[in-house]
Amino acid sequence: MSNVPVELKYAKTHEYARVNDDGSVTVGISDSAQDQLGDMVFIELPEVGQTLAAAEACAVVESVKAASDVYAPVGGEVVEVNEALVDSPETVNQDTYGEGWLFRLQPADVAEMASLMDAEAYEEFLASEVH
């Protein structure tokens, strides 16, 4: 079973969103997503200062198997990106919820968070995807 931390929110496109104390949101891909993609070999991050709309494609994670777009779970401005991943993409496989985060954004409208799934809903969603 994949790891789905209860304190996070999840998008149908398999990103997670963590609301930080300062109101910013840290974004990465779920454990299920990294497991499906397999060994990461290349990661393309958004630019700091870039303004994203919710569901906008803004990063790419590439594994040996496939390239996959990452979509912004909520709209906002990118305030920080995880540069360490450029040289160590495997960190996403090893610790996606910790050191393997992709970028942090300042949401334009916090209410958009409500459109994301909680852990329970995401687990049900994952189960529904496996037939």
For residue 131, state whether it binds another protein (rule: CB under 8 A). Answer: yes
**Interstrand relation of 103-107 and 76-81 (parallel, antiparallel or unpaired):** antiparallel
Q: Does residue number 9 form part of the binding site for another protein (CB under 8 A)?
A: no
Report how far Cα 103 is from the mean position of its chain's Cα atoms.
8
Q: Which residues pair with 28 in a beta bridge?
A: 16
Pick from 39, 118, 120, 124: which binds another protein (CB under 8 A)?
Answer: 39
Nearer to another protein, 45 or 78 (CB): 45
Residue 130 binds to another protein (criterion: CB under 8 A): yes
Tell whether residue 58 is a contact of another protein (CB under 8 A).
no
Binding status of residue 88 toward another protein by CB under 8 A: no
What are the backbone angles phi and psi of residue 3, rounded to the nearest 5°?
Answer: -85, 125
Task: Give residue 108's Cα distance to chain centre.
Answer: 17
